[in-house]
Amino acid sequence: MDPLEDVLAFLDVRGYVSAGLAAGGDWAVRFAPPSGVKFNTVQRGRCFLTADGADRVPLEEGDCFLLTRPVPFVLASSWEVTPVDAEPLFTAAGDTTAQVGDGDDVVLVGGGFSFGERARTLLLDFLPPLIHVPAGTPQAGTVRWALAQIGSELRHRSPGSRLVAEHLAVVMLVHVLRLHLARESGSGSGWPAGLADPVVAPALSAVHGRPAHPWTVAELADAARVSRSTLAVRFKEVVGQPPLDYLTRWRIELASRDLREGTEPLAAIARRVGYGSESALSTAFKRVTGVSPSDYRSERRSRGGA
């Protein structure tokens, strides 16, 4: 099992595309912190970006960026222009392209992604606040293709175009994450960094492919074709925890989802995620989360009812 695919499926990632923005002349737009993960693409022209007061990033035609934190950001033709708030522009535009300044020398398409409640812990905290993908990057061909298709769907408004655009946005997210992982190879941390590590990646794939298997470090080392000690040291260096601790935490994530979303008895969940008994799962669950499975399920049900 591909760990990236596994985690994104677990988080139930959904893409959505918002209205575009056309701009010309001297202009600047200030955006409030997005509620989720936000992306924008420059389909025509060039502009500048700053997010949460960080360094200014020049954006060229074909560039895209991903904001992984709820921080305010500004898009502008230059920094001498006082920005206007984005919300009134997009409210006035409705489902059409919002307009700022004079003309449409610059055209951007924006959107975002929604995730399950564990996205921050399992994925987003391992990513930088801003991921910039320049159009000139050789690996960005597929990203540009997805962006071009999104633009085409939004322009022609054929039946089902918004649904197609949303699925294409998820395709774009996967490729942006791939590009980020390739660029940050050797310098990141957590399980995403492990995907780019030749020793750790096979072990991660084994865990995600068969989480219920009673893995030993020796078996995971065999999957990675290295010694037991080499895997143990490298896995902890890259991912930040030993291999079997990672396995335990992933099993508890799977069990937590089943407790949140289903009504199966705990014994059935225990067997599915790799524990021989209800008591074995309960012990591991409380050690990782601080609460028992029954208390966790009761709390989530009461929260849902409220």
Topology match between the domains 3-183 and 245-305: no
Taking the alpha carbons of 66, 71, 72, 78 in that order, is the dihedral positive or negative? negative
pLDDT computed for residue 155 by the predictor = 72
Q: With bands split at pLDDT 50, 70 and 90, how would you rate the model's confidence at 185? A: low
Dist. CA 27–CA 302, nearest whole Å: 48
Q: What is the pLDDT of residues 207-253, one digit of tens each?
A: 999 999 999 999 999 999 999 999 999 999 999 999 999 999 999 99
| Domain edges within the chain | 3-183, 190-241, 245-305
pLDDT computed for residue 139 by the predictor = 62
Taking the alpha carbons of 90, 93, 94, 97 in that order, is the dihedral positive or negative? negative
Question: What Rg do the C-alpha atoms of the chain give, in angstroms?
Answer: 22
Query: What's the average model confidence in pLDDT over 158-172?
Result: 80
CB atoms near residue 9 (< 10 Å): 11
Query: What's the average model confidence in pLDDT over 11-32?
Result: 89
Dist. CA 43–CA 148, nearest whole Å: 8
CATH 1.10.10.60 fits 245-305, yes or no: yes
Instruction: Specify the length of the chain in residues.
Output: 306
For the cut 50, the answer to whether the pLDDT of residue 68 exceeds it is yes
For the cut 80, the answer to whether the pLDDT of residue 119 exceeds it is yes
Dist. CA 202–CA 20, nearest whole Å: 41
Q: What is the pLDDT of residues 44-63, one digit of tens each?
A: 999 999 998 777 899 999 88
The vertex-132 CA angle with 138 and 105, nearest 5°, equals 90
Identify whether the C-beta of residue 72 lies closer than 8 Å to the C-beta of residue 38.
no
Identify whether the C-beta of residue 150 lies closer than 8 Å to the C-beta of residue 172.
yes
Identify whether the C-beta of residue 282 lies closer than 8 Å to the C-beta of residue 266.
yes
Average pLDDT of the chain is 88
For the cut 90, the answer to whether the pLDDT of residue 188 exceeds it is no
CATH topology of domain 3-183: Jelly Rolls (2.60.120)
Q: With bands split at pLDDT 50, 70 and 90, how would you rate the model's confidence at 79? A: confident
For the cut 50, the answer to whether the pLDDT of residue 306 exceeds it is no
What pTM value is reported for the model?
Answer: 0.81
pLDDT computed for residue 9 by the predictor = 86
Q: What is the pLDDT of residues 275-301, one digit of tens each?
A: 999 999 999 999 999 999 999 998 887
pLDDT computed for residue 128 by the predictor = 87
Report in angstroms the alpha-carbon separations of 187 from 117, 139, 199, 261.
Answer: 27, 19, 15, 36
Dist. CA 226–CA 91, nearest whole Å: 57
Identify whether the C-beta of residue 224 lies closer than 8 Å to the C-beta of residue 217.
no
Identify whether the C-beta of residue 203 lies closer than 8 Å to the C-beta of residue 193.
no
For the cut 80, the answer to whether the pLDDT of residue 305 exceeds it is no
